[in-house]
Amino acid sequence: MVESTPVVEMCNIKKNFAAVQALKGVSLALQHNEVLGLMGDNAAGKSTLMKVLSGAYIPDEGEILMEGNKINLTDPLHARRLGIEMVYQDLALADNLDVTGNVFLGREVVGKQIASVGIMDSRKMEQEAQRLVGRLKIDIPSVRLLVERLSGGQRQAVAIARATAFNSKVIIMDEPTAALSVAAIEKVLDLVRELKAQGASIIIISHRLEDIYAVSDRLIVMRQGRKVRDTPVTGTIDEFRESCVAYMIGARDDFAKVVVE
């Protein structure tokens, strides 16, 4: 089998916060058009690893490659320019803005430049927001609705639409189904499938094994700052559950160092 170059690759990433070793040398590869599930107990380092990939944290050690080329991410804007977007665990939406305003937050379309002051082309932004919402089949009555009026599932959808606004290659979602109703969870999972169908490569963090099983091609389990499992998602959900729970609780570890005495 010919292995293609991963869209992104993280090699031996280490990150400490004072005395906390949040990442102890984690490697990960995301293939083109792959959905990668990331699981693990609280404080395993999942969000930290993804914040490194989205440019929010600079790693202490390790390398990131994009399509085989080394990149030194300096900040989230840099990652965004390269096509890497992250939907954060807390969503970070502006409640007092409408859907369009949130989709374009921080990157307004400039219509005219008057004395170097950019005027947002609001009609164009609204059309574009409408197009994105439609493309992802998101169920929101109007892009003019204030985000504070939306349900949890709709808010998640807006945050995801924002992450896809500029045809991102890699979309990272941190716990997109946490705190949602069953119906809303299904919609978010449909969104993940839709993004994949449109060619995106996706990393999804979740505590919900069923969600990872439903949409992921591959699973990585992290525990205490390390990767302990990296496997294709196959078999029945019961087999899948059995194969990953042991890793989450620390009973198994595929990458444990063999200590030679």
Ligand X SMILES: Nc1ncnc2c1ncn2[C@@H]1O[C@H](COP(=O)(O)OP(=O)(O)OP(=O)(O)O)[C@@H](O)[C@H]1O
Binding region for Mg ion (CB under 5 A): 47
Is residue 42 near ligand X by the rule CB under 6 A? yes
d(CA 208, CA 89) in angstroms, rounded, equals 14
d(CA 144, CA 101) in angstroms, rounded, equals 9
Is residue 46 near ligand X by the rule CB under 6 A? yes
Q: Closest CB to ligand X among 42 and 116?
A: 42
Q: How many CB atoms lie within 10 A of CB 181?
A: 12
**Which range of residues in 35-43, 77-85, 152-160, 243-251 is near ligand X by CB under 6 A?**
35-43
**Which range of residues in 6-14, 43-51, 160-168, 184-192 is near ligand X by CB under 6 A?**
43-51
Tokens describing residue 193:
């499938």
Residues β-bridged to residue 201:
170
Residues β-bridged to residue 170:
84, 201
Q: Which does 227 bind (CB under 5 to 8 A by kind): ligand X, Mg ion, none?
A: none
Among residues 7, 26, 29, 45, which is the contact residue for ligand X, using CB under 6 A? 45
Q: Which does 43 bind (CB under 5 to 8 A by kind): Mg ion, ligand X, none?
A: ligand X
Going by C-beta distance under 8 Å and a sequence separation of 6 or more, which residues neighbour residue 124? 109, 111
Site for ligand X in 118-137 (CB under 6 A): none
Among residues 30, 35, 37, 48, which is the contact residue for ligand X, using CB under 6 A? 48
Q: Closest CB to ligand X among 103 and 226?
A: 226
Q: Closest CB to ligand X among 149 and 208?
A: 208
Among residues 8, 28, 39, 44, which is the contact residue for ligand X, using CB under 6 A? 44
Element (H, E) at 170: strand 170-174
207-212 contact pairs (CB < 8 A, 24+): 207/39, 207/175, 207/178, 208/177, 208/178, 209/39, 209/237, 209/240, 209/241, 209/244, 209/245, 210/237, 211/177, 211/185, 212/37, 212/39
Residue 22: CB minimum distance to ligand X, A: 3
Is residue 249 near ligand X by the rule CB under 6 A? no
Half-sphere exposure (CA, 13 Å, Cβ side) for 74?
Answer: 3
Q: Closest CB to ligand X among 43 and 105?
A: 43
Q: Are 184 and 191 in contact (CB under 8 A)?
A: no
Residue 63: CB minimum distance to ligand X, A: 19
Element (H, E) at 174: strand 170-174
Site for ligand X in 3-32 (CB under 6 A): 17, 20, 22
Is residue 71 near ligand X by the rule CB under 6 A? no
Q: Which residues bind ligand X (CB under 6 A)?
A: 17, 20, 22, 40, 42-48
